[in-house]
Amino acid sequence: MDIKTQLKSLLQEAEIYRSQGLLDESKNRYNDAVELIQKNAQIKNKQNLLENIQKKINLVNNILSNIGKASTSPQLSSQVQNVIKNKFSFSDDQDSASLEGAIALAKFGQFESALKEFNELVKKKSVQIIAAKNIIRCYNALNLIDEAVVQYEKWLSSGLFPSEHLEKIRFFLENILERKGNKKILPHAPNVKESQDSIGNESYDSRFEDEEFLDISSITISLDKGPLKGKLVEFDVSFQSANIISVIIPEKDKKLIENLVIGATLNNIQFYSPIAIFKGNGVISAKTRIQSGPKKGNYRMDIKVVST
């Protein structure tokens, strides 16, 4: 191929790549063209050509920088929001489906609308904890964490939540605050003592991640070793942070406490969450006797979920 044809085809490639939005590839071809021109003495009008190519490279750079600056969570029209709400919910159960739709809105950055939805969903017992946590997540994403605190205080006196739900929410919010360097102590729910403050030093992950939304409310473990072999035991999950769940083992279940040792693998755990039941394995990562508060004497066990 003579130089002229070579140059022509390089520039043509560069143009097409640019028109297709393949910007790095386009730039590469323009740069190849520049190199070719500089290496070849016989090309006439060199300066002119180089200037023209530089202009095109600048153009590509401009597009690239605009792309870099573009918003990743634009406000979407209500028509589009409805599509998201309807098409990204999969459950048969009405409340769970609404919850999934609202989570999808949040995942697609539509925090204000998601907030509206979650605020309706906190009224539904079966999904209210997840909805409340997501309200906190939304405020966090909007950089309005103080609003979340105000909201929590309103919930405290609203009568909408049972105390143990409020405690979970408080714990969740305090963790987010703590991660932001805010050591604010939130008021407790009525009838709950300060007992659980020592529980869960795990930090909460407040991203809108799939896994995070599977709030596990209870588990059953089938024991496959030791004197209790074959027994099924059920626990309510007192706290969850990412893939670590904490359960309380009553003091009186001595055999169980002995049986469940740190490092042991639990196969066949059944996890119950408001939107799904699933099976998985876990490893006991901690077991400590609670030293004070109403749960004093009971044991807190952390299970790290390793696969589901």
Partner 1 sequence: MAIFNLKKREIDCKIVYYGPGRCGKTTNLEYIYKAFKKQVSGEMVSIKTEGDRTLFFDFLPIGLGKLKGCDVRVQLYTVPGQVQYKSTRKLVLKGVDGVVFVADSLKIRYEKNILSLKDLQQNLKDYDLSIFKIPLVMQYNKRDLAEKNIPLMSIEKMERDLNQQLKVPFFEASAITGQGVGACLKKCLMLTLQSLHKQLKWG
Site for partner 1, rule CB under 8 A: 9, 12-13, 16-17, 20-23, 25, 63, 66-67, 69-72, 74, 76, 79-80, 83, 87-88, 90, 104, 107-108, 209-210
In the complex, the smallest distance separating the C-beta of residue 211 from partner 1, rounded to whole angstroms, is: 10
Residue 21 touching ligand GTP (CB under 6 A): yes
- What stretch of H or E contains 109? none
Please work out, in degrees rounded to the nearest 5, the angle formed at the alpha carbon of residue 213 by the alpha carbons of 212 and 216: 90
Closest CA to 184 of 195, 194, 175: 175
Closest CB to ligand GTP among residues 20, 191: 20
Q: Please name every residue paired with 83 in a beta bridge, in sequence order, or none if there are none.
A: none
Phi, psi dihedral angles at 84 (to 5 degrees): -60, -45
In the complex, the smallest distance separating the C-beta of residue 58 from partner 1, rounded to whole angstroms, is: 16
Closest CB to ligand GTP among residues 18, 85: 18
Residue 12 touching ligand GTP (CB under 6 A): no
- How many alpha carbons lie under 13 Å from residue 300 in its C-beta half-sphere? 24
Closest CB to partner 1 among residues 87, 179: 87
Q: How many residues does the chain have?
A: 308
* Cβ neighbourhood burial of 200 (10 Å; 0-12, 13-18, 19+): buried
Contact set for ligand GTP, span 120-179 (CB under 6 A): none
In the complex, the smallest distance separating the C-beta of residue 12 from partner 1, rounded to whole angstroms, is: 7
Instruction: Say which DSSP state 199 is in.
Output: S
Closest CB to ligand GTP among residues 25, 164: 25
Residues 232, 220: Cα–Cα separation, whole Å: 7
In the complex, the smallest distance separating the C-beta of residue 209 from partner 1, rounded to whole angstroms, is: 8
Give the one residue of 3, 9, 12, 20 binding ligand GTP; rule: CB under 6 A.
20
Note the residues at the interface with ligand GTP (CB under 6 A).
19-21
